[in-house]
């Protein structure tokens, strides 16, 4: 019996250097995760391209993403040529978290 899994993707996300260290990226991940969970996605996938420094990969790992080596080719980054494929859970946010999300725009 097949298992249905919903997957959302982050295609491009960047915080301008002038605005880093203000938790804007973390807030963006929370909003994206909440929206994707609300839409029925179980996971968020992305390719983290940090030009080899490892900083961006660690940033995502610190936010509960994990490397997804079996997705490298599928994500268009064989041998990590264009970055590291990563996977994060979205269901941890869920509808309740979406309803309680307190955004300060």
Mean per-residue pLDDT, 29-49 = 89
- Higher pLDDT pick, 5 / 97: 5
Q: Domain spans of the chain?
A: 7-95
Band (4; pLDDT cuts 50, 70, 90): confident
Sequence-distant (6+) residues with CB within 8 A of 74 are 85
- For residue 2, CA distances in Å to 5, 11, 62, 64, 70 come to 9, 27, 32, 27, 19
Residue 93 pLDDT exceeds 90: no
Domain 7-95, CATH: 3.40.630.30
Q: What is the pLDDT of residue 64?
A: 87
- Higher pLDDT pick, 95 / 1: 1
Output helix, strand, coil percentages for the chain, rounded to the nearest 5: 35, 15, 50
């Amino acid at each position: 019996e097949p298992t249905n899994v919903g997957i959302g993707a982050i295609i491009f996300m960047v915080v301008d250097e002038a605005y880093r260290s203000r938790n804007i990226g973390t807030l963006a991940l929370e909003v994206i995760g909440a929206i994707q969970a609300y839409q029925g996605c179980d996971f968020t996938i992305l390719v983290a391209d940090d030009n080899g420094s490892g900083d961006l990969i660690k940033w995502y790992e610190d936010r509960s993403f994990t490397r997804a080596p079996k997705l490298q080719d599928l994500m268009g980054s064989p041998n990590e040529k264009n970055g590291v494929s990563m996977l994060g859970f979205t269901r941890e946010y869920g509808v309740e978290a979406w309803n309680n999300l307190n955004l300060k725009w």
